[in-house]
């Protein structure tokens, strides 16, 4: 969105802000070419709506952008999908995490794709480097929570799920 601020980064040691790196766009774009069967979806490739929502999925949570602005610039369908994957920041963090686990199986196919790609990117990033202020225990707890979310998303995209299974296996976790 032109003129809308992004997440602010702090100076200093490595910290976790995966969506600020340019390669997340490439990772997200890769989901557009695959589906649960390893090829195109029965209805064709994921729509531009899904891809747009994937690129914008944390915008409302992490900036002062509103859902109305997302709709204004990208349309009602993108807004609905972004809204579906956006956490309610008025809730405590543990409640938001619980809701992600609970709601994952009931998400739309587009939201499931966005969530799978996001979890894969975040877990790869955590495997690559531990964020400033995070203990190894906190990283492991994040992996455990992410595994619970991914369990509810199974059957959506074989390639993303296989990559996630491998990462989780390296941490002693299964789906």
Q: Are 120 and 5 in contact (CB under 8 A)?
A: no
* 84 catalytic per annotation: no
Residue 39's CB is within 10 A of a number of other CB atoms, namely: 12
CA 158 to chain centre: 16
DSSP label at 83? H
* 62 catalytic per annotation: yes
Catalytic residue, chosen from 35, 58, 62, 84, is 62
Catalytic residue, chosen from 35, 58, 61, 88, is 61
Residues 6+ apart with CB under 8 A from 19: 7, 58, 62
CA distances in angstroms from 71 to 58, 113, 115, listed in the order given: 14, 20, 20
- What the block records as the tokens of 86 is 């956006």
Distance of alpha carbon 25 from alpha carbon 19, whole angstroms:
8
Catalytic residues, by residue number, are: 61-62
């Amino acid at each position: 969105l032109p003129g809308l601020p992004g997440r602010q980064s702090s100076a200093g040691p490595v910290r976790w802000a995966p969506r600020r790196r340019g390669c997340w766009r490439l990772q997200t774009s890769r989901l557009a070419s695959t589906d649960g069967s390893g090829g195109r979806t029965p209805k064709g490739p994921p729509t531009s709506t899904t891809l747009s929502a994937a690129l914008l999925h944390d915008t409302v949570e992490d900036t002062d952008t509103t859902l109305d602005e997302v709709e204004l610039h990208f349309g009602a369908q993108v807004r609905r999908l972004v809204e579906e994957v956006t956490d309610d920041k008025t809730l405590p963090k543990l409640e938001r995490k619980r809701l992600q686990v609970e709601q994952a199986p009931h998400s739309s196919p587009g939201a499931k794709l966005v969530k799978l790609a996001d979890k894969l990117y975040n877990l790869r990033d955590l495997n690559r480097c531990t964020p400033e202020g995070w203990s190894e225990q906190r990283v492991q707890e994040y992996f455990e929570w992410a595994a619970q979310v991914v369990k509810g998303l199974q059957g959506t995209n074989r390639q993303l799920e296989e990559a996630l299974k491998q990462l989780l296996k390296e941490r002693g976790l299964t789906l």
